[in-house]
Chains A and B, each alone.
Chain A
Amino acid sequence: EADIYQTPRYLVIGTGKKITLECSQTMGHDKMYWYQQDPGMELHLIHYSYGVNSTEKGDLSSESTVSRIRTEHFPLTLESARPSHTSQYLCASSHRGSSEKLFFGSGTQLSVL
């Protein structure tokens, strides 16, 4: 069973607020990822990290930022949330050399009013 946790599960906030979505894994995985997913749709990679102090933007442009100060922690921040940011955000991790077998968290469903 995967040990990757996301908080909060659900978040409803007003426009302009700053938010941080938390993601932690206890598997010691080097690689971590953030995906954005609209209901029933494909996943779009927005950020990834191959290790501490390493972060890269994904294929889908996003106004969010990430940090990787500790191996187990990969938070995502939106400085000023907008309704267009409403979506599900999924965090994942994988072990180096594992052919990218991803373990996903349960996701954060974000609604910006």
Chain B
Amino acid sequence: GIQVEQSPPDLILQEGANSTLRCNFSDSVNNLQWFHQNPWGQLINLFYIPSGTKQNGRLSATTVATERYSLLYISSSQTTDSGVYFCAVEFDTGNQFYFGTGTSLTVIP
């Protein structure tokens, strides 16, 4: 069946460290987005990346659609990076985004 899996579920980093978050998905996709959910619950768009590589400041993302995974890289982490990171996927066959269970990131000073 349809699956969107994220790993790791929880991550604690020292400020300044780098990290890689992973999203695996079960089928061909039209759309893949990475979001950061801040402590107030707002989903902040990070990347729209159904394929390829993008960079935005300290963040970058890569989606290898043929191998059904996406990676989010966070470099030189800051305490403001804390929160939950979600991968959301829209498959070729449907009209909805399927969210992974998220990675909860805590960056400590």
A and B physically associate = no
B residues within 8 Å of A by Cβ?
Answer: none
Query: Chain A residues in contact with chain B, CB under 8 A?
Result: none
